């Protein structure tokens, strides 16, 4: 018996979330007195997983799985869990895994707890702490089924090194035409930029920037910080920025180490989608903007004056400390 995790990768390289998941899985496995097995799909070098406590890797290589397909990927994970007799399956909370988790749970007749924010409070009974009500509260969930699926909230555990001796095994799950009933026709990817999904820092702009012609303020600050750029819903609705950059409850939720909001008043849907970020900085000329109530740091003033000065100071700091 082993604890199983799905280590996500893109273009053959593991995403940071795979290492966070491995760190978490290692600690849970220790409490259960078992080992950690990771299943990978079309990943390249898997050796780095051993740095975070993975004992065994089931490597799946299949050209049919080159593009993400929730049904097919879920079937792969289900069969890996059955092969390893895994009673606990750990998934992340990325967009892909949120699609996967319910399908995996149904396939294994397992209970599923999403948005888990820490190690199990108890393993017998199996209880976990979860975000609830758009990250405004927590609840304690008990999974009573024999097999359990845990969805770890992004950036809730961090990376913890725990070197292990890694073994690998080629795994060829049985896939049929029904697994590919939904076909991927085209995938559009942003190139040359930090993606919102993988970013440690996000710089986001709102209507306070007054127009798309002023977005250079956001992009320059993001470049200095090595950050992803994002926007509020009204900005994407107006066509100033693509919908792929819209963050919030109705867009992409983010849980970054640092979230900087420029000219965003802070509608409840936006705040709900970014509330899991560890440090929130708000720059707004309206001292009554709702965002200030949830911000860790707030600057009241004109973004067109503050942001260029902040960017320049950061450039100087980096130059002095490079």
Tokens of 166: 């890694």
pLDDT at 83 > cutoff 90? yes
**Max CA separation in the chain (angstroms):** 60
Judged by DSSP in three states, 293 sits in: helix
Residues above pLDDT 70, as percent of the chain? 98
pLDDT at 280 > cutoff 80? yes
pLDDT at 73 > cutoff 90? yes
pLDDT at 184 > cutoff 80? no
- 209: Cα within 13 Å, side-chain hemisphere: 27
Q: Are 195 and 228 in contact (CB under 8 A)?
A: yes
pLDDT of residue 132: 85
Alpha helices in the chain (DSSP H): 16-32, 70-84, 95-108, 216-225, 233-237, 268-274, 303-321
Q: What is the mean pLDDT of residues 154-180?
A: 91
pLDDT at 151 > cutoff 90? yes
- Calculate the average pLDDT of the chain: 92
Q: Are 16 and 126 in contact (CB under 8 A)?
A: no
- 124: Cα within 13 Å, side-chain hemisphere: 4
pLDDT band at residue 192, thresholds of 50, 70 and 90? low
pLDDT at 311 > cutoff 70? yes
Q: What is the pTM of this model?
A: 0.82
Q: Are 291 and 263 in contact (CB under 8 A)?
A: no
pLDDT band at residue 186, thresholds of 50, 70 and 90? confident
Write the Ramachandran bin of 261: left for phi over 0, alpha for psi from -120 to 50, otherwise beta: beta
Please return the burial class of 287, using the count of CB atoms within 10 Å of its CB with bins 0-12, 13-18 and 19+.
exposed
What dihedral angle (degrees, nearest 10) is formed by the CA atoms of 67, 44, 4, 112? -30
Q: What is the mean pLDDT of residues 293-301?
A: 95
């Amino acid at each position: 018996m082993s604890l199983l995790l799905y280590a996500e990768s893109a273009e053959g390289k593991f995403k940071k979330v795979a290492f966070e998941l491995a760190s978490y899985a290692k600690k849970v496995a220790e409490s259960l007195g078992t080992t950690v097995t990771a299943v990978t799909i079309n990943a390249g070098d898997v050796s780095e997983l051993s740095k975070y406590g993975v004992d065994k890797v089931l490597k799946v290589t299949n050209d049919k799985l080159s593009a993400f397909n929730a049904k097919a990927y879920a079937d792969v994970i289900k069969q890996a869990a059955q092969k390893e007799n895994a009673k606990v399956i750990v998934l992340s909370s990325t967009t892909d895994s949120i699609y996967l988790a319910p399908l995996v749970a149904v396939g294994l007749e397992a209970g599923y707890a999403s948005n888990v924010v820490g190690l199990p409070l108890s393993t017998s009974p199996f209880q976990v702490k979860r975000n609830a009500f758009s990250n405004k509260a927590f609840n304690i969930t008990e999974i009573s089924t024999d097999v359990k699926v845990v969805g770890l909230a992004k950036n809730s555990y961090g990376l913890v090194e725990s070197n292990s001796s890694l073994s690998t095994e080629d795994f060829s799950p049985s896939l049929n035409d029904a697994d590919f009933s939904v076909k991927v026709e085209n995938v559009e990817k942003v190139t040359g930029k930090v993606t919102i999904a993988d970013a440690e820092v996000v710089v986001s702009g709102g209507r306070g920037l007054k127009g798309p012609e002023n977005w250079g303020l956001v992009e320059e600050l993001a470049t200095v910080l090595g950050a992803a750029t994002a926007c509020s819903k009204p900005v994407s609705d107006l066509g100033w920025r693509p919908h792929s950059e819209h963050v919030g409850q109705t867009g992409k939720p983010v849980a970054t180490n640092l979230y900087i909001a420029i000219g965003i008043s802070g509608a409840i849907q936006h705040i709900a989608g970014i509330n899991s970020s560890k440090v929130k900085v708000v720059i707004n000329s309206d001292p009554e903007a709702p965002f200030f109530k949830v911000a860790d740091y707030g600057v009241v003033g004109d973004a067109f004056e503050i942001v260029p000065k902040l960017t320049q100071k950061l450039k100087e700091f980096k130059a002095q400390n490079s």
